[in-house]
Each structure stands twice: as C-alpha cells, then as structure tokens.
Structure 1
Amino acid sequence: MSAQPWPVKLTFRAGAQELVAEFEDGRAGRVDYRTLRLESPSAEVQGHGRGPKPPPPVVPEDIRVLKAEPVGRYAVRLFFSDGHSSGLYTWNILRSLTVGD
C-alpha cells in the first residue's frame, strides 16, 4: 500500500465555492463545495456496510463550507452550511475528488 499523498496547503475559496488542495508531490487540484458535499464519505451519504447506497442528498447550489477541522494527521472534517459534518475526508479522498489545473 502506498503512502497517502500529504497535503501541504488547503485553501477554501468562499467566493468561488471551491477547495484548492496542493500536495507534497507537486500535484494541485480544485473541487467545488457542492461536489464535496455530494461525495461526502459519511455513512449518511455512502450507505452503511454492504447495503445499497442511499439516494444522493439534496444539496443547495450555494452550499458553503463553514469550518474545517483536522482529524489526526490523516483527514479533515468539513462543516457545511446545510448542517452536514459527519464525513471525514482523508487525504486520498481529497486527492481523488480534486481536478488538476
């Protein structure tokens, strides 16, 4: 198993409603807040265990990230304007969601 890509900088751009992530290997990318919310790694969004994935959440177009908290050295918890905050975004998940420039 390869090491997780370590983010060196996370920039939350409220005006553009996006997160820009820069990784130690030089890769950088961006992901909009709506995609982050729709793809939340939480059980509420992804489902529990082996059961079917629930229908996608209804996410407003103007969703915002209100706060971000580090979780250990492996993830970040995002707090969204619709009250959702149960997903832990590991560095691998963030990297997979970002689209390079």
Structure 2
Amino acid sequence: MQQVSKLHYHRHSKLLDVWFADDLQVQFSAELLRVLSPSAEVRGHGTPQLVANKRDVGITQMLPVGQYAVRLVFDDGHNSGLYSWSYLRQLHEQRDTLWQEYLARLKAANAVRDAKLEVRFHSGV
C-alpha cells in the first residue's frame, strides 16, 4: 500500500497536492477527483455513471479515514467517495488514460464539462 504523508488543497486553483511517503508528489484537479470518484454513486453497479458539468467543482472538506484514505467533500454536495491511498496512486498512474476515456464518454453522451448555469459572486457595489 502506498502511504500518503501530506495533502494540501489550493482553494483558488482547485488543485489538490498529494505527497506519498516514497517522496512522489502529484497534483489532481478537483474536477478529476469528482468525476472519477470511487463512490458507488459514480462507479455504479458494474457500469460507471457519467458525471458531467463539473469543470468548476471545488473541495470544501478533506476528512481523514484512518491511516488509509480521505473522504473528500465537494461543493456540489458529493461526499460519499473514500479516496484510499492506493486509489490516489492508481489515479496518478492511469490519469491520462482515465481522463481521455472520460472525455470520450462525455462526447458520446453529448455532455460537457462546463456547468449548465454559470453563477458568479461579486463583492462590492
């Protein structure tokens, strides 16, 4: 099992840094982690469910689960995936293939990464 020694989330860029105990440091977008969630909701029962419209999704919480995983809570309400250290390593090692497969599934379903409705918050007057 690959042990993770540190996690650091960058709220503005929506990137998660993961440091493995063997000194490998990798970075994942919140979008990738959300659309490739290990949850039953996303993986389905045999056939993975297509998750679209998540380009701007962010992570609101990271909850450690023992010494083997982290539960990520996303700002779209998704919170049921347990990201084990071995799953994070697998995502790193297969990132390009998994991402290209995801993009192909989006295209085949005539779906997009962008949100269905753009919402922006402005501060000030």
Q: TM-score, normalised by structure 2?
A: 0.69
Unaligned 5+ runs, structure 2? 94-125
Q: Considering only aligned residues, what root-mean-square deviation do their CA atoms show, in Å?
A: 1.3
User: Are 1:96 and 2:90 matched, yes or no?
Assistant: yes
Higher relative contact order (CA 8 A, sep 6+): 1
> What is the DSSP-based 3-state SS (H/G/I as helix, E as strand, rest coil) of the residue aligned with 1:25?
coil
Bigger strand fraction: 1
Describe how 1:18-57 pairs up with structure 2 within 5 A. 18-48=15-45, 51-54=46-49, 56-57=50-51
How many pairs align?
93
Q: 1:67 — aligned with what?
A: 61
* Distance (whole Å) between structure 1 residues aligned to residue 53 and residue 89 of structure 2: 22
1:59–1:72 CA distance, 2 compared to 1 (3 A) = farther
Aligned-residue sequence identity (percent) comes to 40
Q: TM-score, normalised by structure 1?
A: 0.85
Unaligned 5+ runs, structure 1? none
If you compute each CA radius of gyration, which structure gives the higher value, 1 or 2? 2
Q: CA deviation at 1:70?
A: 0.8
Q: Which amino acid in the other structure matches residue 22 of structure 2?
A: D
Q: 2:71 — aligned with what?
A: 77
* Distance (whole Å) between structure 1 residues aligned to residue 13 and residue 89 of structure 2: 19
8 Å Cα contact 2:34/2:54 also seen in 1: no
